[in-house]
Structure 1
C-alpha cells in the first residue's frame, strides 16, 4: 500500500513541477482580478494577511506525507523486532495515516466537483 501512496505523491509533485512558472496563488494573465473592481478590493484588509490557499494545501499534503512516513517507519521497526515499536503504536500510526489520506482524497474530490460545477455554469 505504501508503494501506491508514494506513487500518488510522486505524481502530484510531477504535476506541480509541470505547472512550473506560476507561483502558488498568482492569477493567470487572463484571470479576473477582484482587486481591480474597487480601490480597496473586495473585503481587502491590509493587516490581515495569512498563508495563501496553495501554501495551506501544500502544508496539509506534507503533513499527510509525514504521517505516512512515520507509520511506515514504525511498521518497519516493529517488523525488525525493535522493542520501542509496540503493536499498539504501529496500529494507531497506521490508522492515523489512513484517516489523513482519506480526508485528503475527499478534499480533492470536493475541489474537483466544485471546479466542474463552476465550469458548467451558464454564462
Structure 2
C-alpha cells in the first residue's frame, strides 16, 4: 500500500465526515496532523454518529414526537457506512503492515 492510497482514504474519510455534519471545519481537515491523530478523529466521528443514530432509534421506539422513521433509518445507514469505511481502512493498514513485515531484511 502506498502513501498516496492512504492519503486518498483519509481524504474520503474527511469528505464523508464533513458531509455528515462533523464538528470539525474544513480548515481543520486541511491543516491535518499525524496519521494517528486523523484516525482518532475519524473514529470519534464514527462513534458519535453511531451514538446519535442509536439515540434516535431509541427515541422513535419510545414514541417521542418529532422523530420520524425515515430520519432514523438514514442516520443508522450513515453510521453503518462510517463504520464499514473505518473497518476497510483498518483492513488496509493491517495488510500494509503484513506486507512490510514480509520484506526480507
Question: Is TM > 0.5 for Structure 1 vs Structure 2?
Answer: yes
- Runs ≥4 residues deviating over 3 A: none
For 1:77, the equivalent position in structure 2 comes to 59
Question: Structure 2: 5+ residue runs without aligned partners?
Answer: 1-30
State which of 66, 70, 77 in structure 2 corresponds to 1:95: 77
Question: Structure 1: 5+ residue runs without aligned partners?
Answer: 1-48
User: Greater CA radius of gyration, 1 or 2?
Assistant: 1
When the two structures are aligned, how many residues end up with a matched partner?
75
Which structure has more relative contact order (CA 8 Å, sep 6+)? It is 2
Q: With structure 1 as the length reference, what TM-score do the two structures score?
A: 0.59
Please identify which structure carries the higher helix content. Answer: 2
For 1:114, the equivalent position in structure 2 comes to 96
Q: Does structure 1 retain, via aligned residues, the 8 Å contact 2:60–2:69?
A: yes
Which runs of structure 2 are paired with 1:44-55 in the superposition (5 Å)? 50-55=32-37
Q: What CA RMSD, in Å, does the superposition of the two structures yield over aligned residues?
A: 1.1
